[in-house]
Amino acid sequence: MKKLFAICLAVLLLAGCAKTETVTDREGNEVIVPTKIERIISTAPSNSEVLLGLGLGEFIVGVDKYTSEHPELDSEVTRFNFREPDVEVLIGLEPDIIFASGHNKVGDEDPYKLIKEAGIAVVYIPSSISIEGIYEDIEFMASLTGTEKAGEEMINEMMALVEEVKAIAQGIETQKTVYLEISPAPYIYTTGANTFQDELITLVGGINVFGDEESWISASEEVIIAKNPEVIITTVSGDTMVSDITVRPGWEVINAVMNNSVYQVESNPISRPSQNVVEAIKQLAEAIYPDLYEFE
């Protein structure tokens, strides 16, 4: 405790000497942040991906344990628990700012309360449910870190791909129905409206068979069979996932299974709201409409 107090005091003294500004984070909180940011902690993989895309790898001193390895990220970077971070360790890293996620919270409890009290800026970025929201997340992080140009370029590249896909999708006369599985049997989960995954399916010209329901859905096998999707997409990793789906009892009558239209896409791009969602768009498009889409 004495060590923690000493670290907090040092941080407060340093913070008192730095120039600051007040910003509103993506959760709606007013936060005092330093105008010069050189030491960054990211508490979620999506935030880490954006920060690395902005060219800030050398400034990242801590990340959550789920953040992927990256050539611009120090291989010895401090990693910590996603929901139960070691406050003393994080304060000891003397960050200028922490980019936190809504997923870090358990209920209404703020795991970074003590860190905020130590005078360290913590900005929250809830998990965006739309492509537009991802653009805004990138713009926000770029504005705080002085990388506005890189952020603008990143967003423009994303927009260019989205417009390219939209142009092709508009010409699709008969849309295919799609079932997206994000958790396998026996605890099957899929996604409905008000998620960016649902938006991606619609973007490439598909129809989400659970698009009439909200958010994340626990789905029964009987309902999935009844919905009879023309395409099945799994985001679950594993060499046998596609074959596991095709041999489930009763699933042999589903059009997607009968027509060998069961595909696997990478989990990270379609589950993390970052600029890498463009890879998910490409993979979904090529899986659902292989004759219409082809990307380098």
| Residue 41 φ/ψ, nearest 5 degrees | -120, 135
Q: Which of 33-37, 85-89, 212-216, 227-231 is predicted with the least confidence, judged by mean pLDDT?
A: 85-89
Cis bond leading into 186, ω under 30°? yes
Question: Quick check: 61 and 120 in contact, CB under 8 A?
Answer: no
H-type helices in the chain, by residue range? Answer: 2-17, 45-53, 87-92, 113-117, 131-145, 148-169, 196-203, 221-227, 241-246, 255-258, 267-271, 277-288
Confidence of residue 227 (pLDDT cuts 50, 70, 90): very high
Segment 230-248 shows an average pLDDT of: 93
- Residue 251 is classified by DSSP as G
Question: Quick check: 26 and 136 in contact, CB under 8 A?
Answer: yes
Segment 94-108 shows an average pLDDT of: 83
- What does the mean pLDDT of the chain come to? 90
- Of 162, 155, 260, the C-alpha closest to 202 is 162
Segment 203-211 shows an average pLDDT of: 96
pLDDT at 254 over 90: yes
Q: How many CB atoms lie within 10 A of CB 240?
A: 9
pLDDT at 293: 93
Q: CA-CA distances (angstroms) from residue 267 to 37, 183, 234?
A: 31, 11, 9
Segment 128-149 shows an average pLDDT of: 95
Looking at the chain, the whole-number percentage of residues with pLDDT higher than 90 is: 73
Q: CA-CA distances (angstroms) from residue 67 to 96, 164, 166, 234?
A: 20, 30, 31, 21
pLDDT at 138: 97
Confidence of residue 18 (pLDDT cuts 50, 70, 90): low
Helix axes 196-203, 277-288, angle to 10 degrees: 50
Q: What global pTM score does this model have?
A: 0.88
| Residue 18 φ/ψ, nearest 5 degrees | -90, 150
Q: Which of 12-26, 65-79, 124-138, 228-242 is predicted with the least confidence, judged by mean pLDDT?
A: 12-26
More confidently predicted of 104 and 80: 80
β-strands 177-181, 207-208 pairing: parallel
pLDDT at 10 over 70: no
Segment 29-39 shows an average pLDDT of: 93
Segment 54-71 shows an average pLDDT of: 93
Segment 134-140 shows an average pLDDT of: 97
pLDDT at 164 over 50: yes
Cis bond leading into 290, ω under 30°? no
Helix (H, G, I), strand (E, B) or coil at 166: helix
Annotation: CATH topology of 168-288: Rossmann fold (3.40.50)
Q: Which helix (H) or strand (E) holds 232?
A: strand 231-234
- Residue 135 is classified by DSSP as H
Domain ranges in the chain with CATH number 3.40.50.1980: 2-127, 168-288
**C-alpha dihedral over 146, 150, 154, 159, to 10 degrees?**
90
pLDDT at 1: 52
Q: How many CB atoms lie within 10 A of CB 132?
A: 11
Confidence of residue 6 (pLDDT cuts 50, 70, 90): very low
β-strands 30-34, 20-24 pairing: antiparallel
What CATH number does the domain located at 2-127 have?
A: 3.40.50.1980
Question: Quick check: 37 and 146 in contact, CB under 8 A?
Answer: yes
pLDDT at 17: 53
